[in-house]
Every structure is written in structure tokens, then in C-alpha cells.
């Protein structure tokens, strides 16, 4: 799996936060790596408070230097330059398609600061526009290149087959690393039910509580079935059901389980505004500093 990793770099230390994750996965999975720099016309002189690489020759030399120092000798690493005529994020997506990358590894920095995911930030656009899985690493303000491990994977599920396609990717990754799987399903409370469900809950609180209790029972049964199947295939898998807000629950579970990575299926191609305005994935990224692997899902029964 993930035979080819694409790592976008702009020359900043923040972007280099993705390198430890790429190096670890390349070594564990036997992947080849391509470091890509998007050449922007009329690029700003600085980016993230650092000098921006705008000269193609200088950028090429930088990528070759990173390739020589950031990866183990046995990892095949190439470099690639792409003209940003269509914009930085679309160029990253185009590079992933052109080079047939299986995974894009990048950090989540944006113009609003390390912890702020602004609509239109490069990381968000890459997820929303592309069909390639994206591993997002959040840099630490004190250390731009945090260490990366892949020993425990948190896999949030919601019982919908289309959304749980990320579980298959997580299982493959767990088998290759190897790693433990921690399956999680967050059942809402009366207060955290969204939209029309929340309105109905306030009108029928007793009936809603009974419904949520049944939902929790079904959640345990579903996760037990999934965990049992994974264990039968030789993987170590545990299950957890909790109540509350999905994003906050995922963030708490990641901390308590000491997860190294959160793996989620997501509908990235449904449109940026729709995707990010109510996306649990985007909220998880705001709540947690654990790296987040987003797997674009296909509609069940779709061949597209």
C-alpha cells in the first residue's frame, strides 16, 4: 500500500514537519518518495516568516538537499517541480495524479496560524479537491519537525459503510507497520444532536434518550463485530464507544489511547464549502494535534 508518497515542500521549516512521517512510512512500507515544489509566479518574498523559494534553480537544489538528508539510504527519493499556473493546491493535486502518488504527506500550516484552519488554506484545498489520501501533520510551535510513530491507530467509525472505507486502509497500515487498531464510535448526547435531530430531541427528550441508548447498544455490537474480524486476521484491535460531540470525543480518545495517527474516511470531493463547514475531520484537526490520515471515500455501489 502507499507505494508512492508525495511530499509538497515550500522551503519553510513548517512544511518540513511532514518529513519525519514520510520518512517513517517510506521505510516501513517500502515506498518511494517524490518531493515536490510548486513554482509560483510573482511569489511573495516570505512565507511563514521565512524567505520563500521562488527561483526554480534554488528550489531544485533545496529539494535535492532534503532528499539526501531526510530519508534512509535505501529509500528511493526523486524531486519534482510543478508550475502553479492553476494555484498551489490544485497544482499539488495535479502532481499527485500525474505522478500516480498513493498518499500526499503535508503539514497543516495556514495563514491564520498553526492551529487555525482557514477556509481556502492549502491543506484543506488539497483534501477537498483531490481523490488521493492525505496525511496531515500539525507542526509543533516549539519544534517544526515532530517525531512520528505508527504504533497505535485510532479509527473513528459511524456505522455507515461509505464512511468506513478508511478502516480497510487502517487495517493495511496496521499490518505493515505493525500497529494496534483502536476502533471508536461516538454516539451523540441529547445536547449534541445536530440540526433537525436536535430540534426533535428537545420536543421529545424521553423518546430521544431511549433512541440514543439503543444507538449505543448497536454501536457496541457493530464495533465488536469489526474488532472480532480484525483479530481473526491476526491484528490487535480494541473497541470503544463514547457519548458526546463527535470531534471532541475523537480528540479525547486519541489522547487517552495515546494514538499516533487518526485514520478517517471523508467525502473530500463533495465541495470545499460543504466539506469543511460541517466536517468532523476539520473539527478533529482543530481539537487534536495527532496526525490525521484522511481517506476519500467512494459512494457504495459507485464505479466512479
Domains, the chain: 4-137 (3.40.50.620), 152-296 (3.40.50.620)
Provide Rg for the chain, Cα atoms: 20
- Whether the CB-CB separation of 90 and 125 falls below 8 Å is answered with yes
* pLDDT tens digit sequence for 160-206: 776 678 899 999 999 999 999 999 999 988 888 877 777 777 788 88
pTM above 0.85, yes or no: yes
Q: Report the pLDDT value the prediction gives residue 183, as an integer from 0 to 100.
A: 97
Grid cell 492525505 is found at 134
The CA-atom distances, in angstroms, between 219 and each of 140, 177, 223 are: 35, 28, 6
Q: Report the pLDDT value the prediction gives residue 162, as an integer from 0 to 100.
A: 66
Pick 130 or 2 by higher pLDDT: 2
Q: How confident is the model at residue 46 (pLDDT cuts 50, 70, 90)?
A: low
User: Angle 195-203/205-232 helices, nearest 10 degrees?
Assistant: 130
User: Angle 246-256/280-287 helices, nearest 10 degrees?
Assistant: 50
- How many percent of the chain have pLDDT more than 90? 50
Q: Report the pLDDT value the prediction gives residue 24, as an integer from 0 to 100.
A: 95
Strands (E), the chain: 4-8, 32-39, 46-47, 50-51, 77-83, 103-107, 134-137, 152-157, 180-187, 237-243, 261-266, 292-296
Q: Report the pLDDT value the prediction gives residue 304, as an integer from 0 to 100.
A: 39
The set of cell numbers assigned to 137 is 501533520
The set of cell numbers assigned to 213 is 441508548
Across all residues in the chain, what is the average pLDDT? Answer: 83
DSSP character at residue 163: G
Is a pLDDT exceeding 80 seen at residue 245? yes
What does the alpha-carbon distance between residue 122 and residue 133 come to, in Å, rounded to a whole number? 15
Pick 38 or 85 by higher pLDDT: 38
Q: How confident is the model at residue 120 (pLDDT cuts 50, 70, 90)?
A: very low
Peptide bond into 193 cis (omega under 30): no
Amino acid at each position: 500500500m502507499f507505494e508512492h508518497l508525495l511530499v509538497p515542500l515550500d522551503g519553510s521549516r513548517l512544511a518540513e514537519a511532514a518529513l519525519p512521517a514520510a520518512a517513517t512510512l517510506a521505510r516501513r512500507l517500502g515506498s518511494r518518495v517524490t518531493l515536490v515544489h510548486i513554482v509560483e509566479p510573482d511569489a511573495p518574498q516570505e512565507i511563514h516568516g521565512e524567505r520563500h523559494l521562488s527561483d526554480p534553480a534554488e528550489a531544485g537544489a533545496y529539494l535535492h538537499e532534503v532528499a539526501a538528508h531526510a530519508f534512509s539510504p535505501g529509500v528511493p527519493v526523486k524531486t519534482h517541480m510543478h508550475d502553479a499556473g492553476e494555484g498551489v493546491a490544485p497544482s499539488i493535486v495535479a502532481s499527485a495524479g500525474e505522478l500516480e502518488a498513493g498518499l500526499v504527506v503535508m503539514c497543516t500550516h495556514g495563514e491564520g496560524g498553526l492551529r487555525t484552519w482557514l477556509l481556502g488554506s492549502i491543506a484543506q484545498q488539497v483534501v477537498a479537491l483531490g481523490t488521493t489520501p492525505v496525511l496531515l501533520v500539525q507542526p509543533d510551535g516549539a519544534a517544526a519537525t515532530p517525531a512520528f510513530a505508527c504504533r497505535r491507530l485510532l479509527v473513528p467509525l459511524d456505522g455507515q459503510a461509505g464512511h468506513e472505507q478508511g478502516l480497510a486502509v487502517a487495517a493495511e497500515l496496521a499490518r505493515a507497520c505493525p500497529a494496534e487498531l483502536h476502533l471508536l464510535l461516538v454516539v451523540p448526547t441529547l445536547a449534541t444532536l445536530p440540526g433537525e435531530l436536535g430540534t426533535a430531541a428537545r420536543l421529545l427528550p424521553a423518546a430521544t434518550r431511549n433512541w440514543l441508548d439503543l444507538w449505543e447498544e448497536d454501536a457496541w455490537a457493530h464495533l465488536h463485530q469489526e474488532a472480532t474480524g480484525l483479530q481473526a486476521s491476526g491484528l490487535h484491535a480494541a473497541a470503544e464507544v463514547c457519548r458526546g460531540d463527535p470531534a471532541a470525543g475523537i480528540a479525547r480518545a486519541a489522547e487517552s489511547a495515546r494514538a499516533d495517527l487518526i485514520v478517517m474516511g471523508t467525502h473530500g470531493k463533495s465541495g470545499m464549502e460543504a466539506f469543511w463547514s460541517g466536517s468532523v475531520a476539520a473539527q478533529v484537526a482543530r481539537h487534536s494535534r495527532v496526525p490525521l490520515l484522511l481517506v476519500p471515500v467512494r459512494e457504495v455501489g459507485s464505479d466512479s
